[in-house]
Amino acid sequence: MYENNYRMETLKIGDKAPEFAGKNQDGSEVSLKDFLGKKLVLYFYPRDNTAGCTAEACNLRDNYKLLMDKGFAILGISADDEKSHTRFITKFQLPFSLIADTDKKICKLYGVWGPKKFMGRSVDGIHRTTFIIAEKGYIEAVFNKVDTGNHTEQILNELKIK
């Protein structure tokens, strides 16, 4: 039904990042405006507590101080609910917030929700994607092929940050 490499149209480098607001694991509202003046690692991932998503979150956790020292903030988004995010954060001691996008509005706004292959069949879901949003709200980098275990290195290399 769908091509193996089908992807929804995502934002591109230089695009203005779409404004969004959503509830994090604590039920607090988090919006793009909260991060103006910092570089934001905005990462979309399929599901809490799965192997790839855990590897990606833990890589960002393990490099959190380094990224903060380089002027970055980190925010994750998935379609899991607040309770799932709370358990995921607690289990892996994540120092950053996760937005519960259960209605998938933010995912659709950023073009990361759509059909994909999973275990040989087509399903709708989140395409693992990371956007680096510059201090003034523009897309600086887009990662469609995330190296979950080395994502921080991938980000810093792409942006040529030492």
pLDDT digits (tens, 9 = 90+) for 50-69: 999 999 999 999 999 999 99
- CA 27 from chain centre, in angstroms, equals 18
Is the pLDDT score of 15 beyond 70?
yes
Is 53 annotated as catalytic? Answer: yes
Is the pLDDT score of 4 beyond 60?
no
Q: What is the pTM of this model?
A: 0.92
Q: What is the mean pLDDT of the chain?
A: 92
pLDDT-derived band at 2 (thresholds 50, 70, 90) equals very low
Q: What is the dihedral of CA 128, 48, 57, 82, to 10 degrees?
A: 110
Catalytic residue from among 53, 79, 98, 126: 53
